[in-house]
Amino acid sequence: MSMTSPARSRRISTLALLGATALTLAACGGGDDPSGESGSGSSASGGELTLEDLQEAGEVVVGFAGEAPYSFEQDGELTGATVALHEAIWEELGVDVVTGVEAQFGQLIQGLNAGRFDVVAAGMSILPERCEQAIFSEPEFMYTTALMVPEGNPDGLTDMDSIADAGVNMAAMTGAIEETYATDLGLNAMTVGTPQDGMDAVVNGRADVFALTGISLNWMADNNPDTPVEVTESFVATIDGVDQVGAGGTVFRNADTELRDAYNEVLEEIVSDEDRYLEIVGDFGFTAEERPTGDLTTEQLCAGDI
C-alpha cells in the first residue's frame, strides 16, 4: 500500500538520514546542529507552531521510529497505520504533504523538542513521565503487549510475570513501555534500538524473549515466516497489582496546543466512526479492538489515573 509519491519518497529518505545524524549529535550532548540550524521541522526557528504555519508550508514533518506496522519505511516510502492516519487528518486540515524523519524510539521526544520535526507519529504510549516532556493527542490506538520467543516457546512464557519467574533474558526496545515494565519488575533486560534488533536477539540466542506491542510482533512474524520465532497471545501487563491499560497518540511540543487541538478535532471524527477508522488503518492489521472508544482519555493517562 503506497502512502507517498516517488518525489516524496526521495524527500523522506533524505530527511531520515539528516534526522539520524542530528539525533546522534544530540545524544552526544550537543543541543543544536553544528551548522546552527535547530532542525528540519517547520518550527526549527523556535516558538509556537500553528496550523497556519503548516498550511503555508504545505508540509508537516513527522518523526517516526521504524516500528511496523505503526510507522516505517518500506521500499523508500514512509508507510504504516500512523502514517495513513496522519495523511487523512492533515489533508483534512489543509496540509498536503506528510514527510518523515526516522529516529530511534527513545530519541523521538528529544528530536521533537529540538525542532527536528513538527510532531511524532509513532503510536507512542501516553505515559505520565512523557506528558512532562510534551503534549499528546487523544488516543489513536489501544494496545496490549505480547512476547516473541523461540519457536516452540521452550520456557513456556505467557506474560511479564512468567519472564520474572523463569529468570530468562529479555529484550525491550529503548524507550518503549516494555522497558519500563522490565525495570518495575526487576527483570534482566537488554535494550535494542529497533524491533528487528529485538527479533535478531531472540534468533541469535542473546535474549530468550522480546517484549513489544502484540500488533508489532505479529506483523514481524507474519512478514518473516521462515524465522524460527513465534508470538504469544497478547496480554495486559500487571505492575504492583495494577493493569497497565495502554494507548498511543501523536506527540506535540508543549507550546503547540492550538495545533494539537485542531488535530484532535479531526481525530475524534475518525475514531468515532469505526468503518472510517478501519478503512484507514485496517490494511496494517489493526482491528476494532485497537480503536479507542473514548473511555480512556489522554488526561487520565497523563495523570496515571487508569
Question: 209-254: per-residue pLDDT in tens?
Answer: 999 999 999 999 999 999 999 999 999 999 888 888 889 999 999 9
* pLDDT for residue 39: 52
pLDDT tens profile 174-211: 988 899 999 999 998 999 999 999 999 999 999 999 99
Query: Which of 171, 167, 165, 164 has the alpha carbon at shortest distance from 149?
Result: 171
Q: What cell was used for 221?
A: 512474524
What is the per-residue pLDDT for 85?
97
Mean pLDDT for all residues in the chain: 86
Q: How many CB atoms lie within 10 A of CB 229?
A: 19
Instruction: Give percent of the chain with pLDDT exceeding 90.
Output: 73
The mean per-residue pLDDT over the stretch 287-304 comes to 93
pTM of the model: 0.77
Q: What is the pLDDT of residues 81-107, one digit of tens each?
A: 999 999 999 999 999 999 999 998 989
**pLDDT band per the 50, 70, 90 thresholds, residue 30:** very low
Domains of the chain, start order? 6-141+248-291 (3.40.190.10), 145-235 (3.40.190.10)
Min mean pLDDT across 11-20, 156-165, 243-252 is at: 11-20
Average confidence (pLDDT) over 58-71: 93
Q: What is the pLDDT of residue 73?
A: 87
The grid coordinates of residue 37 equal 540550524
Q: How confident is the model at residue 22 (pLDDT cuts 50, 70, 90)?
A: very low
pLDDT of 27 above 80:
no
The pLDDT, as a whole number, for residue 237 is 92
pLDDT of 47 reads 87
Q: What is the pLDDT of residues 127-138, one digit of tens each?
A: 999 999 999 999
Mean pLDDT of the 48-73 span: 94
Q: Using pLDDT thresholds of 50, 70 and 90, give the confidence band for residue 26.
A: very low
What is the C-alpha end-to-end distance of the chain, expressed in Å?
36
Q: Is the pLDDT of residue 304 over 90?
A: no
- CA 207/CA 298 separation, integer angstroms: 34
Res. 305 pLDDT band, cuts 50 70 90? confident
CA angle 148/126/119 to nearest 5° reads 100
Look at 192 and 143; give whichever has higher pLDDT. Answer: 192
Residues 124-129 have a mean pLDDT of 93
Grid coordinates in use for 95?
Answer: 496540509
Find, among 108, 111, 88, 106, the residue nearest to 98 by Cα. 88
The single-letter DSSP state of residue 122 is E
Listed residue (241, 13, 232, 264) closest to 137, CA to CA? 264
Do 116 and 22 meet the contact criterion of CB atoms below 8 Å apart?
yes
